[in-house]
Amino acid sequence: MTTTFGAYGGRYVPETLIPALDELTAGWNAAKNDESFHRELHELLTTYAGRPTPLTPAPRFAPGKRLYLKREDLNHTGAHKLNNALGQAVLARRLGKHRIVAETGAGQHGVATATVCAKFGLECVVYMGAEDMRRQKPNVERMHLLGAEVRAVEFGTKTLKEATSEAIRDWITNVDTTHYLIGSCVGPAPYPELVRDLQRVIGDEAREQFLAAEGRLPEVVVACVGGGSNAIGAFYAFVDDTDVRLVGVEAAGAASLGTGRPGVLHGARSSILADEDGQIADAHSISAGLDYPGVGPEHAALRDAGRAEYLPCTDDQALAAFHRLAETEGIIPALESSHALARALDLDEELVLVCLSGRGDKDLAEVLAHS
Ligand SMILES: *Cc1c(COP(=O)(O)O)cnc(C)c1O
């Protein structure tokens, strides 16, 4: 069993998927060392996604601190997810795959995947729980407009957990033609590492931008954690800077790192929300993007090593930070990112970098329902 991050990671999948995971690993290793791959991806990130994203000071949001926002909300489609979807689409084409499957909960990853499939002319099937389709109707309509087929998953809780199982089943059946485009740093190896490498552009850019703005590194980097991809992307450039504190913020009702236990979910061993028998527990968060009972294995390893800390944030704390950023800085953040904003305010450090993972337009109905 390939275990990539200390005691975590690995490949807990049916034997039939191992050749595809090996092919993906080899394809990624070749792409990583190929100048033309980096040129193509860089060109897309620049001319299509809108990178580099700015680093914005937020003095009215955080008086008494020097707090900066890494503006992933300004990416095309409104969040960091496009960084990963673009990279995996370029990789899928190199591997000769013309069909993409994905799973989505809130629909944000489904929209990013449908976007890149439209751009590259790839066939796109997105699995989504029927309950999530009802709650996230505008994103279902966006995916349809972008030419994707959205398949409703009607069993279990009819949410992300079941949609992921269905996407894996599809991949097993169609593995010769199909790339499974996973949306966060989760799943069997090499996905956690692959997604991290595609999201590390966040921290690589922010590290340079912070140095240019302040002449030194931040004292702390803060990011919200669902599956953990924007957080690992923001953290990675700072992991060796041992005096930079790394703080991940989980939804209090979906704290896979804060209150979870070691276990296997969706192909990897990590820290998960489960009962003593390993039965997966239901997660809860006001923000659909954090509402997942698992987390990327690299975060579990960073936690155990004491290199990163993971703090909880309640729905109410996130909502307060959402309104505060809108009113003090003129930026409406995603509810996911609002979790990071909320906890960043109470930290003792003065020099703070927060990953603003996405914009809040998608969350207006949810926020209005709570006010
Ligand atoms: C999906 C999403 C998240 C959670 O995913 P991670 O993999 O933990 O980054 C966070 N913020 C936004 C805006 C999202 O769309």
Answer whether the bond into residue 57 is a cis peptide, omega within 30°: no
357 in active site: yes
Q: Cβ contacts of residue 121 below 8 Å, gap of 6+? A: none
Q: Which two tokens stand for residue 346?
A: 């109470």
Q: Which helix (H) or strand (E) segment is 23 a member of? A: helix 18-32
Whether the upstream peptide bond of residue 333 has omega within 30° of 0, thus cis, is: no
Report the top-level CATH class of 15-43+81-195.
alpha beta
DSSP states of 94-158: HTT--EEEEEESSSHHHHHHHHHHHHHT-EEEEEEEHHHHHHTHHHHHHHHHTT-EEEEE-STTS
For each of the chain's 371 residues, which pLDDT tens digit applies? 456 899 999 999 999 999 999 999 999 999 999 999 999 999 999 999 999 999 999 999 999 999 999 999 999 999 999 999 999 999 999 999 999 999 999 899 999 999 999 999 999 999 999 988 988 899 999 999 999 999 999 998 888 889 999 999 999 999 999 999 999 999 999 999 999 999 999 999 999 999 999 999 999 999 999 999 999 999 999 999 999 999 999 999 999 999 999 999 999 999 999 988 888 888 888 988 898 899 999 999 999 999 999 999 999 999 999 999 999 999 999 999 999 999 999 999 999 999 999 999 999 988 999 98
How many other CB atoms are found less than 10 A from the CB of residue 329? 17
Is position 158 annotated as part of the catalytic site? no
Break the chain into its structural domains and give their ranges: 15-43+81-195, 51-79+199-369
Both tokens of residue 143? 């995916």
Separation CA 148–CA 247 (nearest Å): 36
CATH of 51-79+199-369, one of 3.20.20.70, 3.40.50.1100, 3.40.50.300, 3.40.50.2300: 3.40.50.1100
In short, whether 184's Cβ falls inside 6 Å of ligand 1 is yes
At 112, list the tokens. 């990013």
Task: Give CA–CA dist 232/78, Å, rounded.
Answer: 19
Q: Tokens 């580099």 label which residue?
A: 52
Ligand 1 within 6 A of CB of 230:
yes
Closest ligand 1 atom to residue 295 Cα is 8
CA of 336 to the centre of ligand 1 (A): 6
